[in-house]
């Protein structure tokens, strides 16, 4: 059994451990203090950033770039765009933009700001995320959007002329799109001296950001010597927060199952500690759903645990459930929010007093040698751990329970995370830059340069998809069309091939489903029922065609939620699929794709899938070990994921959509193919050898 202790505490107080969970030691009991909810205007004025209102507006007026650093919850995201609006930056049809790396954050802050301004979301205040545009071209003044969407907008309007101020928020996250955006905005600034940039974040190396935006351009002076243009050296403003102390607790011994440890920790806090909400950091929808279920059962079975409200928080969560997370906790109850690292800095939750930190998050890692990208549960950095702990000190002194040892924190955890740019597949990034006319990717003005191997690999992949030509320029029309669709290029290529094969309707449906995390409801403990439900739709061709059956069934049921419930299908996910599908159809029509159905001809469907995903082809090596496959290119050992309908079926040749790695590399979304299609789809990539395709 594991134990907690607080280093440096004088006399630890033992909190008993009836549940057979983890044991905690705490140095001093904290006192409970009530906190009420004030009117919106009062709340606004209480935020730390309010004191800096005049200073911020002055700096933005006089500097091309302003860097603003301030603790999470100080009011940067929700307040600064409003200050700018109040100061007239949205007059004359101009728009104030505020970018976020995460879609859920975009929606949440936009709806909060609309509420604070007393306007209907989608009018003066709007938001745009991929597949969802809630803005009004005539009335929107403040617009929240993902950094990816803003990049996409540059394809139609390279200088982003409709924006007067662009606030790049959460810059410390260093998402791939943020980094690309910062590089491009620096270029735009030279052409548009009137544009103002705000770069804001919770923790930022303001100095390196500042020197990145430092330009040596000579300033134009007026006749009397006054500046005609804003100063080009960035201003730095630090918003002093007013966080409370957070006591840190570490494990004495490491645990192997952080999920179980998190659940026990939550229950012990609830039993032993004064009122106050609990925020738990896990990694993704699967472990969050599992924890929610375990806790809900516990509450159900044990009256001692009544008064707990257990809520998940991850992107892709339906709006109604998001709203629950932000609504005030009823008196006498305790809210437990189980979240991905979205609650680390992107969203501020009121009322959190306790944080449980698993020490992990889901991160993208890319290996340019094997050309394999994985979404991996990986350790967070010390900087992240500090941010997570900080979330407990918002309303009064709080406590953070780290589900790892102090030694691990000090010795093993990296101090800072690696920018996404340096650990991700650069294929989409390269297309975006090429579409904007930036040819020399390595020579681009990066905040942190990507590795040459990763850039070369991306160029190779794009070349093999015939998206780039021999001169590494976008091909016409394919390359430009792929840039226009702005999905994963392999999916875009699949859609374009479907056009030639006469199955665009079906492939668009499949693409919509692939852009959703999962259409199945995963409930711990009812794996058997879920598998049975899947069998009702499963076909030997694989997951993609199975999805089409689910989609057909959903339509035939009249889009019934009851039908979804009976079949273990996520109703909200299916509704989203319908929405995304409509958007994709519109994009397809815009770029000249004829919408056509293949009327059940699954061979052409699988050929279209192969045309996009030929690089992910594998052949079965051996039935032993549950069916071991090797990728045709690179000979990587991979296995069919248990969630696939082809699990244990093990066709000889398959292609997959993505890989996840846990104990092994698992292929998700798998389709059986005929190897001859590989050479047909990509003669430049595969050649015949003794009857079978091999990679060049």
Give the footprint of ligand CDP on this chain (CB under 6 A): 47, 70, 72-79, 108-109, 112, 326, 348, 350
DSSP, collapsed to helix, strand or coil, labels residue 29 as coil
List the single partner that 74 binds among ligand CDP, Mg ion, none, CB under 5 to 8 Å by kind: ligand CDP
70 binds, among Mg ion, ligand CDP, none (CB under 5 to 8 A by kind): ligand CDP
Residues 672 and 393: their CA atoms lie apart, in Å, by 52
CB of 72 or CB of 425, closer to ligand CDP: 72
Considering beta carbons, is residue 74 or 478 the nearer one to ligand CDP? 74
Least separation in angstroms between CB 350 and ligand CDP: 5
Q: How far is the CB of 576 from ligand CDP (least distance, A)?
A: 21
Rounded to the nearest 10 degrees, the angle between the axes of helix 427-435 and helix 176-191 is 20
Q: Does 99 bind Mg ion (CB under 5 A)?
A: no
**Rounded to the nearest 10 degrees, what angle do helices 427-435 and 489-501 cross at?**
80
CB of 439: closest distance to ligand CDP in angstroms? 37
Query: Which residues, numbered 58-77, are part of the site for Mg ion (CB under 5 A)?
Result: 77
* 201 is a contact residue toward Mg ion (CB under 5 A): no
Nearest one of 692, 677, 683 to 621, comparing CA atoms: 692
340 interacts with Mg ion by CB under 5 A: no
Greatest distance between any 2 Cα atoms in the chain: 83
Question: Which of 101, 419 has the CB closer to Mg ion?
Answer: 101
- DSSP, res 22: -
Neighbouring CB atoms inside 10 A of 361's CB total: 22
Q: Does the CA dihedral 137-142-148-153 come out positive or negative? A: positive
Contact partner, 75, from Mg ion, ligand CDP, none, Cβ < 5-8 Å per class: ligand CDP
Minimal CB distance residue for Mg ion: 77
Taking alpha carbons only, the member of 345, 280, 341 closest to residue 71 is 345
| 77/509 with CB nearer Mg ion | 77
**464 with 425: CB under 8 angstroms?**
no
> Which lies closer to ligand CDP via its Cβ, residue 72 or residue 428?
72
Rounded-to-integer distance, Cα 615 and Cα 149, Å? 27
Q: Which does 326 bind (CB under 5 to 8 A by kind): Mg ion, ligand CDP, none?
A: ligand CDP
CB 197 within 8 A of CB 166: yes
Measured CA distances, 7 to 12, 21, 293, 405 (Å): 9, 21, 33, 10
- Closer to ligand CDP by CB, 75 or 612: give it: 75
Find the shortest distance in angstroms from Cβ 77 to Mg ion. Answer: 3
How far apart are alpha carbons 237 and 222 in whole angstroms? 28
- SS3 per residue for 442-486: CCCCCCCCCCHHHHHHHHHHHHHCCCECCCCCECCCHHHHHHHHC
CA-CA-CA-CA torsion for 166, 167, 170, 171, nearest 10 degrees?
60
* C-beta closer to Mg ion: residue 77 or 671: 77
Q: Nearer Cβ to ligand CDP, position 70 or 368?
A: 70
Cβ burial of 382 (10 Å; 0-12, 13-18, 19+) is middle
What string of DSSP letters covers 140-186? --EEEEEHHHHHHHTTT-TT-TTEEEEEE--GGG--HHHHHHHHHHH
Contact call for residue 546 and Mg ion (CB under 5 A)? no
Pairing label, strands 277-281, 352-357: parallel
The nearest distance, CB 388 to Mg ion, in angstroms, is: 15
In the complex with Mg ion, which residue's Cβ is closer, 168 or 588? 168
Tell the smallest beta-carbon distance from residue 65 to Mg ion (Å). Answer: 18
- Among 17, 6, 580, 61, smallest CA distance to 246 is for 6
What is the nearest approach in angstroms of ligand CDP to the Cβ of residue 73? 5
In the block, residue with structure tokens 């340096």:
422
Tokens of 87: 């100061």
Q: CB of 84: closest distance to ligand CDP in angstroms?
A: 14
Quote the distance between the C-alpha of residue 531 and its chain's center.
28
* Phi, psi angle pair for 248, to nearest 5°: -100, 135
Which of ligand CDP, Mg ion, none has residue 112 at its interface (CB below 5 to 8 Å by kind)?
Answer: ligand CDP
DSSP string, 334-400: EEEEEE-THHHHT---TTEEEEEE-SEEEEEEEETTTTEEEEEEEE--HHHHHHHHHGGGSSS-EEE
* Alpha carbon distance 142, 645 (integer Å): 46
What minimum distance in Å lies between the beta carbon of 367 and ligand CDP? Answer: 34
Q: Which does 65 bind (CB under 5 to 8 A by kind): Mg ion, ligand CDP, none?
A: none
The span from the CA of 692 to the CA of 696, in Å, is 13
- Number of residues in contact with Mg ion, rule: CB under 5 A? 1
Q: How far is the CB of 274 from ligand CDP (least distance, A)?
A: 21
Query: If contact means CB under 5 to 8 A according to the sort of partner, which of Mg ion, ligand CDP, none does residue 271 touch?
Result: none
Q: Residue 596 CA to chain centroid, in angstroms?
A: 33
Integer distance in angstroms from the first to the last C-alpha of the chain?
Answer: 53
- Minimum CB separation of residue 153 from ligand CDP in Å reads 23
- The minimum distance between CB 98 and ligand CDP, in angstroms, equals 10
Q: What DSSP character marks residue 328?
A: P
**Residue closer to ligand CDP, measured from CB, 145 or 659:** 145
Instruction: Report in angstroms how near the CB of residue 200 gets to ligand CDP at its nearest.
Output: 7
| Closer residue to ligand CDP in complex, CB, 198/459 | 198
CB of 275 to ligand CDP, least distance (A): 18
CB of residue 204 to ligand CDP, shortest distance in Å: 12
Query: Is residue 486 a contact partner of residue 605, using CB atoms and an 8 Å limit?
Result: no
Calculated CA dihedral for residues 679, 681, 682, 688, nearest 10 degrees: 0
Of 352 and 615, which has the nearer Cβ to ligand CDP?
352
Q: Which does 644 bind (CB under 5 to 8 A by kind): ligand CDP, Mg ion, none?
A: none
For residues 68 and 545, which CB has a smaller minimum distance to Mg ion in the complex?
A: 68
Structure token pair of residue 428: 């989409």
Q: Among residues 104 and 645, whose Cβ is nearest to Mg ion?
A: 104
Q: Output 77 or 371, the one with its CB closest to Mg ion.
A: 77
Cβ proximity to Mg ion, 77 vs 424, nearer residue: 77
Contact between 100 and Mg ion (CB under 5 A)?
A: no
Strand partners of residue 227: 221
| Least spacing, CB of residue 110 vs ligand CDP, in Å | 9
Query: Choosing among Mg ion, ligand CDP, none, which partner's interface includes residue 143 (Cβ < 5 to 8 Å by kind)?
Result: none
Site of interaction with Mg ion (CB under 5 A): 77
């Amino acid at each position: 059994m594991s134990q907690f202790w607080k280093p440096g505490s004088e006399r630890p107080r033992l909190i008993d451990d009836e549940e057979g969970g983890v044991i905690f030691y705490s140095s001093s009991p904290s006192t409970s203090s009530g906190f009420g909810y004030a009117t919106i205007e009062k709340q606004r004025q209480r935020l730390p950033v309010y004191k800096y209102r005049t200073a911020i507006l002055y700096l933005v007026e006089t500097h091309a770039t302003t860097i603003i650093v301030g603790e999470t919850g100080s009011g940067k995201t929700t307040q600064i765009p409003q200050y700018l609006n109040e100061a007239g930056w949205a007059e004359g049809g101009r728009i104030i933009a505020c970018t976020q790396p995460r879609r859920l954050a975009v929606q949440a802050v936009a709806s909060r700001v609309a509420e604070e301004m007393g306007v209907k979301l989608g009018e003066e205040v709007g938001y745009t995320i991929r597949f969802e545009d809630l803005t009004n071209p005539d009335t929107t003044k403040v617009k929240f959007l993902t950094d990816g969407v803003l990049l996409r907008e540059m394809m139609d309007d390279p200088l982003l002329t409709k924006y007067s101020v662009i606030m790049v928020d959460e810059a410390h996250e260093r998402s791939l799109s943020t980094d690309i955006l910062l590089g491009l905005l620096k270029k735009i600034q030279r052409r548009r001296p009137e544009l103002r940039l705000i770069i804001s974040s919770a923790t930022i190396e303001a100095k390196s950001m500042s020197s990145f935006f430092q330009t040596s351009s000579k300033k134009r002076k007026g006749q009397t010597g006054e500046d005609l243009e804003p100063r080009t050296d960035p201003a730095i403003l630090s918003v002093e927060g007013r966080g409370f102390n957070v006591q840190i607790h570490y494990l004495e011994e490491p645990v192997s199952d952080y999920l179980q440890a998190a659940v026990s920790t939550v229950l012990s806090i609830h039993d032993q500690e004064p009122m106050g909400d609990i925020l738990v950091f896990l990694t993704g929808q699967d472990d969050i759903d599992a924890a929610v279920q375990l806790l809900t059962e516990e509450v159900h079975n044990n009256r001692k645990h009544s008064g707990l409200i257990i809520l998940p928080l991850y992107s892709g969560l339906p709006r109604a459930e998001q709203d629950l997370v932000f609504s005030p906790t009823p008196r006498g109850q305790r809210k437990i929010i189980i979240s991905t690292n979205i609650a680390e800095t992107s969203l501020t939750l009121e009322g959190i007093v306790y944080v449980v930190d698993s020490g992990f998050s889901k991160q993208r890692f890319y290996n340019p040698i094997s050309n394999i990208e994985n979404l991996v549960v990986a350790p967070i950095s010390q900087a992240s751990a500090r941010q997570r702990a900080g979330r407990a000190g918002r309303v009064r002194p709080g406590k953070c329970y780290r589900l790892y040892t102090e030694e691990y924190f000090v010795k093993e955890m990296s101090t800072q995370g690696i920018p996404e740019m340096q650990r991700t597949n650069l294929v989409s990034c390269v297309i975006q830059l090429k579409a904007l006319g930036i040819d020399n990717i390595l020579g681009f003005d990066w905040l942190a340069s990507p590795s040459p191997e990763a850039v070369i690999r991306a160029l190779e992949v794009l070349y093999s998809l015939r998206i780039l030509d021999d001169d590494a320029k976008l091909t016409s029309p394919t390359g430009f069309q792929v840039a226009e669709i702005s999905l994963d290029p392999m999916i875009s290529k699949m859609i374009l091939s479907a056009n030639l094969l006469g199955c665009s309707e079906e492939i668009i449906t499949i693409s919509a489903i692939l852009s959703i995390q999962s259409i199945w409801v995963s409930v711990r403990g009812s794996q058997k029922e879920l598998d049975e439900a899947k069998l009702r739709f499963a076909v030997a061709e694989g997951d993609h065609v199975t999805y089409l059956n689910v989609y057909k069934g959903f339509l035939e049921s009249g889009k019934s939620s009851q039908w979804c419930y009976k079949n273990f299908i996520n109703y909200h996910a299916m509704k989203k699929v319908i929405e995304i599908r409509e958007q994709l159809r519109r994009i397809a029509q815009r770029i000249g794709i004829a919408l056509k159905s293949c009327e059940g001809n699954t061979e052409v469907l699988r050929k279209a899938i192969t045309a996009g995903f030929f690089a992910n082809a594998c052949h079965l090596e051996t039935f032993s070990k549950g069916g071991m496959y090797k990728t045709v290119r690179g000979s990587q050992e991979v296995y069919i994921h248990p969630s696939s309908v082809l699990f244990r079926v093990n066709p000889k040749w398959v292609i997959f959509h993505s890989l996840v790695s846990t104990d092994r590399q698992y292929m998700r979304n798998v389709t059986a193919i005929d190897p001859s299609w590989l050479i047909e789809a990509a003669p430049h990539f595969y050649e015949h050898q003794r009857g079978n395709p091999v990679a060049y």
